Chain A
Amino acid sequence: MAFKIFGKVNFTPYTKVERFAEELRDNKLMGTKCKKCGEVYFPPRADCTKCMSDEMEWRSYSGRGKLVTFTTIHAAPTGFDDIAPYTIGVVDLEEGGRLLAWVEGIKPEELKIGMELRAIPQIMEDVEELKVVYVLRK
Chain B
Amino acid sequence: MKVGIVGIGHGRFGRRDDCTVQELAFEPFKEALEDCELEKKDIDATVIGSSPEYHKQRSISGVIAEYLGMNPQPTWLTEAACASGSAAIRTAYGLIKGGVHDVVAVLGVQKMLELSTPEILALMGRVGDVQWESIFGTTFPGYYAMYANRHMYEYGTKPEHLAMVAVKNHEYGAMNPKALFQKAITLDKAMKSEMVAYPLRLFDCCANADGAACLILANEEKAKKISDTPVWIAASATASATMSILRRETLTSLPSAVEASRQAYKMAGIGPNDVDVADVHDCFTIAEIMAYEDLGFCEKGKGGKFIEEGQSKIGGKIPINVDGGLKSKGHPVGATGTSMAVEMVKQLRGEAGKRQISGAEVGLTHNVGGIGQYCFVHVFRR
Chain A residues near B (Cβ < 8 Å): 3, 6-12, 15, 42-43, 68-81, 83-84, 86, 88, 90, 97-102, 108, 113-114, 132
The distance in angstroms between the C-alpha atoms of A9 and B147, with both chains bound, is 26
Return the contact of B135 from the options A68, A86, A132 (Cβ within 8 A): A132
Pick the 6 closest A-B CB pairs, nearest first: A77-B122, A80-B137, A71-B145, A77-B121, A98-B246, A78-B122
Contact A74 B246 (CB under 8 A): no
Identify the interface centre among A15, A71, A99, A100: most chain B CB within 10 Å of its CB: A71
Point out the residue from A8, A11, A72 that lies within 8 Å of B198, measured CB to CB: A72
Known: A75-B196, A78-B119, A108-B198. A8 touches B135 (CB 8 A): yes
Known contacts being A74-B196, A90-B246, is A69 close to B139, with CB within 8 Å?
no
Q: B137 to A88, Cβ gap below 8 A?
A: yes
Say how far A84's CB is from chain B's closest CB, in angstroms.
8
Instruction: Give A86 to B134 CA distance when docked, in angstroms.
Output: 13
4 A-B pairs besides A74-B195, A90-B251, A100-B245 with CB distance below 8 A are A9-B135, A75-B117, A79-B137, A80-B137
Q: For residue A72, which residues in chain B have a CB less than 8 angstroms away from its CB?
A: 195, 197-198
- 26 A-B Cβ contacts within 8 A? A6-B134, A10-B135, A12-B131, A15-B131, A42-B246, A68-B251, A69-B147, A69-B149, A69-B153, A70-B149, A71-B197, A72-B197, A73-B142, A76-B121, A76-B137, A77-B118, A77-B124, A78-B122, A97-B246, A100-B132, A100-B133, A100-B138, A100-B245, A100-B246, A113-B150, A114-B153
Instruction: Give chain B nearest CB distance to A99 CB in angstroms.
Output: 7
Please measure, in the bound complex, the distance between the C-alpha atom of A114 and the C-alpha atom of B135, giving whole angstroms: 24
Q: In the bound complex, what is the Cα–Cα distance between A102 and B142 (angstroms)? A: 13
B139 touches A76 (CB 8 A): yes
User: In the complex, which of the residues A6, A68, A100, A113 contacts B126, with contact meaning CB atoms closer than 8 Å?
Assistant: A6
Contact B136 A88 (CB under 8 A): yes
Are B122 and A6 neighbours in the complex by a CB distance under 8 Å?
yes
Chain B positions near chain A (C-beta within 8 angstroms): 117-119, 121-122, 124-126, 130-139, 141-142, 145-147, 149-150, 153, 194-200, 244-247, 251
| C-alpha spacing A102/B117, complex, angstroms | 22
Which A residues lie within 8 Å of B198 (CB)?
Answer: 71-72, 74, 108
**Most chain A CB atoms below 10 A, which of B133, B136, B138, B147:** B136
Contact assessment for B136 and A102 in the assembled complex, using a CB-CB cutoff below 8 Å? yes
Q: Is the CB of B138 within 8 A of A88?
A: yes
How distant is A68 from chain B, measured CB to nearest CB, in Å? Answer: 7
In the docked arrangement, what's the CA distance between A130 and B132, Å?
A: 14
Q: How far is the CA of A11 from the CA of B129 in the complex (A)?
A: 12
* B118 and A43 contacting across the interface, CB-CB below 8 Å: no
* Chain B residues with CB under 8 A of A90: 146, 245-246, 251
Name the residue in A11, A79, A97 with the highest tally of chain B Cβ atoms < 10 Å from its Cβ.
Answer: A79
Residue of B nearest to A87 (CB): B198
In the complex, the answer to whether A69 meets B150 with C-beta atoms within 8 Å is yes
Chain B residue numbers with a CB within 8 Å of A75 are 117, 121, 139, 141, 196-197
Q: Give the chain A neighbours of B137 by CB distance below 8 A.
A: 7-8, 73, 76-77, 79-80, 83-84, 86, 88
Residue contact A78 to B150, C-beta cutoff 8 Å: no
CB distance from B371 to the nearest CB of A (A): 12
Whether the Cβ atoms of A43 and B122 lie closer than 8 Å is: no
User: In the complex, A101 Cα to B135 Cα: how many Å?
Assistant: 9
Residue ID in chain B nearest A79 by CB atoms: B122
Once bound together, how far apart are the Cα atoms of A100 and B135, in whole Å? 10
User: What B residues does A101 contact at CB under 8 A?
Assistant: 136
- Which residues of A sit under 8 angstroms from B122, Cβ to Cβ? 6, 77-79
